[in-house]
């Protein structure tokens, strides 16, 4: 059975390295934007590392590792397009799918009697351009995402801080939009003097708020109702696990290990009725 050198051209290797660098850089910046770095980075290492364990030839190890990383990034983009979130178990599953497709393609070709041989020129050309492009490009995109995250997280925390109050041994966040609710549960935590709580553990209640638009003019002293709209708002109820609500708390957001915003908030109890 004769091996077929499919990946041989050095220019094709250089171009492939650039393509992989671009999609992997996007994947890294997307993971930072999502705020959960551990699972995506582990998934990327997994996708690039499994081929290294499966193949004996160094050229195949490196090439199929890059190929799997590119597939993982592409699958993550597809998940975002259909409205999903490539994080947690999802991104780990995508990593295994990427490796299966990359290695499976090689196995299928072997079954057809055409094992793939990767030339050193293609492999090292792709590897060098990947490293040269991916490192600065990833750094640039993550720095850009960090500046955006600082502004977005600060605006989010300052907005919700206006609608937070204690209620028994809970802290209630009122008038939260569905999008803010998703961001709060994913990014924001509450720190008291005794303990830190994540809003991912908060209970969610859905509230329908009705808004009436009226029009009044000189000829028509009685206001006329133009429209009535219903808007879904959320309430987040964070249990302090039997501890009385403190007089003040600190809201802070994190993207991975990095704190992007922090605000101290004095809690004012609502008067009953």
Q: What is the pLDDT of residues 170-207, one digit of tens each?
A: 999 988 888 888 889 888 999 988 889 999 888 988 87
What's residue 106's pLDDT?
84
The pLDDT of residue 228: 56
Grade residue 88 by pLDDT with cuts at 50, 70 and 90: confident
Q: Which residue has the higher pLDDT, 68 or 230?
A: 68
Instruction: Give kind and range of the element (H or E) at residue 262.
Output: strand 258-266
Give CA–CA dist 17/24, Å, rounded.
10
In the prediction, which pLDDT does 66 show? 93
Residue with tokens 């055409």: 114
* H helix count then E strand count, the chain: 6, 10
| pLDDT exceeds cutoff 70 at 231 | no
Contact 259, 250 (CB under 8 A): no
- pLDDT value, residue 220: 57
Mean per-residue pLDDT, 96-118: 84
Among 77-81, 147-151, 200-204, the range scoring the smallest mean pLDDT is 77-81
pLDDT for 173 equals 92
Q: Is the pLDDT of residue 115 over 80?
A: no
Two tokens, residue 112: 């057809």
Q: Which of 192, 228, 260 is nearest to 37 (CA)?
A: 260
Distance CA 123, CA 13 (A): 6
Q: Which helix (H) or strand (E) holds 142?
A: helix 120-160
**155: pLDDT strictly greater than 90:** yes
User: Is the pTM for the entire model greater than 0.75?
Assistant: no
Considering the chain, what is the average pLDDT of its residues? Answer: 84
Question: Residue 1's pLDDT is what?
Answer: 47
Condensed to tens digits (0 to 9), the pLDDT of residues 14-67 reads 898 999 999 999 888 888 877 777 888 899 999 999 998 999 889 889 999 999
pLDDT of amino acid 156? 92
Token pair, residue 257, equals 């290990």
pLDDT given for residue 210 in this prediction: 62
> Which H helix or E strand runs over 47?
helix 38-54
Specify the long-range contacts of residues 95-99, CB closer than 8 Å, at least 24 apart: 95/43, 95/44, 95/46, 95/47, 95/68, 96/46, 97/71, 98/47, 98/68, 98/69, 98/71, 98/72, 99/46, 99/47, 99/50, 99/51, 99/68
Indicate the domain borders of the chain: 4-145, 156-266
């Amino acid at each position: 059975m004769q091996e077929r050198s499919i990946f041989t051209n050095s220019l094709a290797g250089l171009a492939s390295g650039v393509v992989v660098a671009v999609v992997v850089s996007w994947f890294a910046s997307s993971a930072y934007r999502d705020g959960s770095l551990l699972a995506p980075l582990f998934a990327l290492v997994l996708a690039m590392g499994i081929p290294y364990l499966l193949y004996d030839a160094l050229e195949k190890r490196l090439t199929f590792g890059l190929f799997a990383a590119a597939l993982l990034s592409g699958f993550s983009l597809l998940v975002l397009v259909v409205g999903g979130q490539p994080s947690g178990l999802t991104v780990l599953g995508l990593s295994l799918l990427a490796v299966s497709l990359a290695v499976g393609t090689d196995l299928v070709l072997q079954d057809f009697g055409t094992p793939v041989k990767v030339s050193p020129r293609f492999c090292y050309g792709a590897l060098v351009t990947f490293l040269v492009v991916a490192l600065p490009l990833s750094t640039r995109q993550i720095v850009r995402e960090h500046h955006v995250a600082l502004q977005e997280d600060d605006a989010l925390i300052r907005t919700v801080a206006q609608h937070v109050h204690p209620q028994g041994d809970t802290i209630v966040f009122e008038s939260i939009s569905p999008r803010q609710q998703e961001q709060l549960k994913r990014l924001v935590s509450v720190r008291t003097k005794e303990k830190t709580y994540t809003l991912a553990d908060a209970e969610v209640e859905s509230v329908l708020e009705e808004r009436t638009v009226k029009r009044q003019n000189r000829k028509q002293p009685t206001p006329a109702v133009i429209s009535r709209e219903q808007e879904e708002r959320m309430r987040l109820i964070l249990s302090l696990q039997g501890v009385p609500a403190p007089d003040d708390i600190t809201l802070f957001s994190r993207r991975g290990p990095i704190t992007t915003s922090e605000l101290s908030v004095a809690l004012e109890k609502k008067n009953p009725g």
